[in-house]
């Protein structure tokens, strides 16, 4: 049977939240593919979490060296589906979100799709600002991050060269910039994907927010300059072509 969507979930060595994600994965069309990638192998005590998932979907557990980019690239390499959906271990989504994703993939198979970010109803006021900021950034600047459930065809993944394994952070961010350079459009499904705000509680809201903004800007500025220069050069070449054509 042809598998339409392959879900790829990179896991940290001690990640424990992925059991909750399994419940949401049951909303996928029957026979979908789910690939977990972690530096350590699946433990016998963890097998129970996959029982229902294996009943309805094709499930794989891969071992890979530490590094989110390397894990996601390995998952994509083994994926059999036409479309790759990259999810974080603490992601939660509804049947409506899955339906919207499938409809968008059918209509715009040549685009990168993402979801609105939500930290859930119990998030604090300060973290709500991060949620709003992330959605403004992705909607108006076209720069979603990995916790927004990026989904696109395997053809796009290969055309963009996969995720950059040389960088120590922001491989999802750099992937989107490469898409922009190659003219691949980024499109919102209009639905939410819920992710945990635990990192803000663990490291503190101010420290985590400042660190994210600093690292994002550090990557964004040179990429924005490069993309802007490319567009200016393209405009100049087009204008010259028009001038030459009119003078003939």
Which of 79, 66, 60 shows the shortest CA–CA distance to 162?
79
Bridge partner residues of 134 (DSSP):
none
- Residue at 185 is within a domain: yes
pLDDT in the model for residue 206: 85
Domain encompassing residue 167: 5-203
- Residue at 237 is within a domain: no
Measuring CA to CA, how many Å separate 18 from each of 14, 32, 36, 119, 123? 11, 17, 9, 16, 20
> How many distinct structural domains can be found in the chain?
1
State residue 229 phi and psi, 5-degree precision: -60, -40
The pLDDT tens digits for 158-194 are 999 999 999 988 999 999 999 999 999 999 999 999 9
- Residue 3's pLDDT band, with cuts at 50, 70 and 90, is low
H helix intervals, the chain: 18-25, 51-56, 68-78, 95-107, 125-141, 154-159, 171-181, 198-203, 205-247
- Residue at 56 is within a domain: yes
The pLDDT tens digits for 120-159 are 876 777 888 899 999 999 999 999 999 999 999 999 999 9
- Residue at 113 is within a domain: yes
pLDDT at 31 over 50: yes
pLDDT in the model for residue 248: 65
**Taking residues 4-12, what's their average pLDDT?**
95
- Residue at 234 is within a domain: no
Q: Pairing between strand 83-86 and 151-153?
A: antiparallel
Q: Which residue has the higher pLDDT, 73 or 123?
A: 73
- Residue at 65 is within a domain: yes
CATH code of the domain containing 41: 3.90.550.10
- Residue at 186 is within a domain: yes
């Amino acid at each position: 049977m042809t598998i339409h969507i392959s879900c790829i979930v990179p896991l940290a060595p001690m990640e424990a939240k992925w059991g909750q994600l399994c419940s949401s994965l049951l909303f996928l069309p029957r026979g979908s593919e789910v690939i977990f990638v972690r530096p350590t192998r699946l433990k016998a005590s963890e097998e129970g979490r996959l029982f229902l998932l294996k009943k309805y979907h094709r499930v794989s557990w891969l071992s890979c060296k530490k590094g989110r980019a390397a894990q996601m690239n390995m998952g994509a390499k083994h994926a059999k589906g036409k479309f790759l959906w990259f999810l974080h271990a603490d992601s939660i989504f509804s049947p409506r979100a899955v339906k919207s994703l499938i409809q968008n993939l059918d209509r715009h198979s040549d685009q990168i799709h993402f979801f609105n970010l939500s930290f859930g109803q119990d998030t604090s006021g300060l973290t709500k600002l991060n949620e709003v900021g992330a959605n403004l950034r992705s909607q108006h600047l076209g720069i979603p991050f990995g916790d927004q459930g990026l989904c696109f065809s395997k053809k796009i993944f290969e055309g963009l060269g996969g995720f950059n394994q040389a960088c120590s952070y922001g491989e999802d961010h750099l992937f989107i910039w490469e898409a922009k350079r190659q003219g691949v459009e980024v499109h919102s499904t209009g639905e939410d994907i819920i992710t945990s705000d635990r990192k803000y509680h663990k490291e503190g809201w101010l420290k985590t927010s400042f660190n994210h903004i600093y690292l994002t800007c550090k990557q964004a500025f040179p990429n924005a300059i490069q993309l802007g220069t490319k567009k200016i050069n393209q405009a100049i070449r087009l204008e010259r072509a028009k001038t030459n054509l009119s003078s003939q």
